[in-house]
């Protein structure tokens, strides 16, 4: 009996050793596997966040099919503290879907992705009619270039853009003196005054008649027209 007991005991110890050895290996594998699994989760999380961000930016407003309208004015000092409102832009050329119809409004209804989301910018509007806006100058559809720095009642004129809410004209505007070409159109029914005024002054709210045009626009007009392209004229021989 004693020999058998000792034999059974020996086999039990050996079996326990084998189990312990096996369990230890599993623990080691778990210790190695856990960091790997966490790394995979982190990588997948980063990829998912990146995809969601790029997808959100690609589909951010204005989108294809949106049809927004904003009022604009170009206002400039003409010396000795006198100011004038510049005429409306009349060139309707537009390759991307941000343009005017000579009505004092910016029509924002993208034809392609070049005018959607973050690319729907004030600079896109100016480029459409052959002009430009920088942080110091604008070029109008007439070809006239207005540059800041000229005398305005004893002070240098500074190019300043004000964004107003056309639905709540009593709200204080957002004022910009930098990154002017990159100012985004954020929603329907905004208003912008692009002004050459002394530093620290606030551009005026657009004139009431501009809002009259805005109110006359059909708010249900959601389908974009065919874009007017500036194509070279060809003649047949």
Note the pTM of the prediction, 2 decimals. Answer: 0.69
Residue 214: the pLDDT is: 87
Residues ≥6 apart with Cβ < 8 Å to 56: none
Pick the more confident residue, 104 or 30: 104
Q: What is the DSSP string of 44-93?
A: HHHHHHHHHHHHHHHTPSS-TT--EEEEEEEEEE-STT-EEEPPPP----
**pLDDT level of residue 41 (50, 70, 90 thresholds):** low
Give the CB-side neighbour count of residue 52, counting CA atoms within 13 A.
Answer: 6
Residue 188: the pLDDT is: 93
Query: What's the mean pLDDT in 17-38?
Result: 54
Query: What's the mean pLDDT in 6-27?
Result: 46
Residue 35: the pLDDT is: 65
Query: What's the mean pLDDT in 180-197?
Result: 96
Residue 206: the pLDDT is: 95
Residue 217: the pLDDT is: 76
75, 136 Cβ separation under 8 angstroms: no
Residue 61: the pLDDT is: 87
pLDDT at 223 over 70: no
- 137-160 confidence digits (pLDDT tens): 999 999 999 999 999 989 999 999
Residue 28: the pLDDT is: 52
**Residues β-bridged to residue 139:** 132, 145
106, 217 Cβ separation under 8 angstroms: no
**Residues β-bridged to residue 190:** 70, 165
Maximum mean pLDDT: which of 10-19, 46-55, 56-65, 140-149: 140-149
Distance, CA of 159 to CA of 67 (rounded, Å): 28
- 73-106 confidence digits (pLDDT tens): 999 999 777 999 999 999 998 899 999 999 999 9
């Amino acid at each position: 009996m004693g020999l058998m007991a000792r034999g059974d005991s020996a086999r039990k110890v050996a079996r326990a050793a084998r189990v312990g050895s096996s369990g230890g290996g599993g623990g080691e594998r778990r210790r190695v596997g856990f960091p790997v699994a966490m790394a995979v989760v982190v990588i997948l999380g980063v990829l998912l966040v990146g995809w969601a961000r790029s997808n959100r930016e690609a589909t951010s407003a204005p989108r294809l099919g949106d049809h927004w309208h904003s009022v604009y004015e170009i206002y400039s000092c003409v010396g000795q503290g006198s100011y004038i409102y510049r005429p409306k832009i009349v060139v309707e050329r537009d390759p991307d879907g941000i343009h005017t119809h000579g009505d004092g409004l910016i029509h924002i209804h993208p034809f392609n992705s070049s005018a959607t989301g973050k690319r729907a910018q004030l600079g896109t509007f100016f480029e459409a009619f052959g002009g430009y806006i920088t942080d110091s100058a604008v070029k109008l559809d007439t070809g006239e270039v207005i540059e800041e720095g000229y005398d305005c009642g004893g002070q240098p004129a500074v190019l300043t853009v004000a964004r107003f809410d056309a639905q709540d004209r009593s709200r204080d505007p957002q004022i910009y003196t930098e990154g002017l070409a990159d100012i985004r159109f954020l929603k329907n029914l905004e208003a912008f005054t692009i002004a050459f005024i002394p530093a620290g002054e606030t551009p005026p709210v657009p004139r009431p008649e501009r809002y009259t045009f805005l109110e006359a626009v059909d708010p249900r007009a959601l389908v974009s027209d065919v874009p007017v392209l500036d194509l070279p004229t060809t003649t047949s021989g």
